[in-house]
Amino acid sequence: MKTIKSLTMRLSVLGLLLCGITSQLFAQGDPASRPSPAATASGKVGDANVTIQYSSPSVKGRTVWGELVPYGKPWRAGANEATVFETDQALNVEGQTLPAGKYSLFAVPGENEWSVIFNSETGQWGSKRSGEANFDPAKNVVTATVKPQQSPTMNERLVYEINDSGFVLKWENVEVPVSLSAAD
């Protein structure tokens, strides 16, 4: 009798442990519970409706530029899934035409210059297991060169802001403005 009671008790504990582990695994996939929560920036550039969907990592005392996000290497421009840029009308991006549509947004940060990449593949995780950005360069639609600026304030979380002249990526002590205008 004691053996059956002991076995029942062990199976109950094991069942509770498995339930706890399973719920933790499912919670990791829940965007609301991630350390870098999902965020959306939306606004108008001329008559175009523009939306940027991204995950917003925190600085957490780290040096972001040149360390956490290395210079000279493609980056997913956020965390988790690749950042998505969407416009309902064609736009000029730093003078280059971007057709209406949905794009993954990547960047190659540099101390004095950045490349901002609009890639036609969407829906992928932002980086490969190796740590490289997860995009096919053959699907790049527009690559624009922009100049980063010193931010007047510290931005703990990565944020995108859309204004009538384009959008700005802000994180840590850097702001990266990207000019957008109505396509001709």
Mean pLDDT (the chain, rounded): 87
Both tokens of residue 132? 């490289």
Q: What is the predicted pLDDT for the residue at 184?
A: 78
| Cα–Cα distance for residue pair 83/56, rounded to 1 Å | 10
pLDDT reading at 26 higher than 90? no
Q: What is the predicted pLDDT for the residue at 7?
A: 59
Q: What is the predicted pLDDT for the residue at 100?
A: 98
Pairing of strands 83-87, 101-108: antiparallel
Residue with the bigger pLDDT between 130 and 159: it is: 159
pTM recorded for the entire structure: 0.81
Q: Is the dihedral of CA 86, 88, 93, 99 positive or negative?
A: positive
Residue with the bigger pLDDT between 123 and 158: it is: 158
Q: What is the predicted pLDDT for the residue at 145?
A: 97
Q: In angstroms, what CA-CA distances link 71 with 110, 144, 148? A: 5, 16, 12
Task: Quickly state the pLDDT bin for 18 (edges 50, 70, 90).
Answer: very low
pLDDT reading at 51 higher than 80? yes
